[in-house]
């Protein structure tokens, strides 16, 4: 999500959009997730937005992307680990946690792309997980403590 893009779509000023965005965050209506990287990348890169209630999200956006809902659910279960997303060379990894654990949420059994595999390998993470179902998530949560 880009404040500038939302401002343009709504036809309101960037300051107004940023103020409302901040209100939504403070009211726990949305959770923004920053991009992992240097300070400039974190501040300038668009944020990924997750909803605290997937039912309300479905009501507002419709039930069309189960993968997005699953990723949102995984975020809610991992938010206490300060997740950030990784985007490099047009490849995204869903979460890197504060303890340098990398997590990719995959609702369908498809394998990671070759680019995702390379990106994960280049991160030097302590552990790497692909969460495909609730059992995988339970195993991850046990590992994280």
> Can you give the pLDDT at residue 98?
85
According to DSSP, the residues that pair with 133 across neighbouring strands are: none
User: The pTM is what?
Assistant: 0.84
> Can you give the pLDDT at residue 23?
93
Please, which residues have CB within 8 angstroms of residue 90's CB and are 6 or more apart in sequence? 115
Better pLDDT: 19 or 44: 19
Q: Measure the CA–CA gap between 123 and 56, rounded to whole angstroms.
A: 35
The first and second tokens of residue 68, run together, are: 């997005």
> Can you give the pLDDT at residue 73?
92
Give the CATH number of domain 65-144: 3.40.1350
Give me the chain's average pLDDT, please.
87
> Can you give the pLDDT at residue 143?
85
Q: Measure the CA–CA gap between 68 and 74, rounded to whole angstroms.
A: 10
Residue carrying the six token digits 């991992």: 78
Q: List b or e across 104-120, with b for residues whose CB sees 16 or more CB atoms inside 10 angstroms.
A: bbbbeeeebeeebeebb
Q: Measure the CA–CA gap between 17 and 46, rounded to whole angstroms.
A: 14
């Amino acid at each position: 999500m880009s404040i500038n893009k939302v401002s343009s779509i709504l036809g309101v000023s960037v300051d107004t959009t940023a103020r409302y965005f901040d209100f939504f965050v403070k009211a726990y209506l949305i959770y923004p997730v920053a991009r992992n990287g240097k300070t400039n990348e974190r501040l300038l890169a668009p944020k990924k937005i997750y909803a605290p209630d997937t039912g309300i999200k479905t009501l507002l956006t419709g039930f069309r992307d189960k993968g997005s809902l699953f990723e949102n659910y995984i975020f809610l279960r991992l938010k206490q680990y300060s997740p950030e997303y990784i985007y490099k060379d047009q490849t995204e990894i869903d979460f890197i946690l504060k303890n340098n654990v990398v997590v990719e949420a995959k609702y369908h059994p498809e394998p990671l792309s070759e680019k995702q595999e390379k990106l994960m390998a280049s991160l030097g993470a302590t552990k790497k997980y692909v969460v495909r179902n609730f059992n995988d998530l339970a195993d991850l949560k046990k590992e994280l403590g």
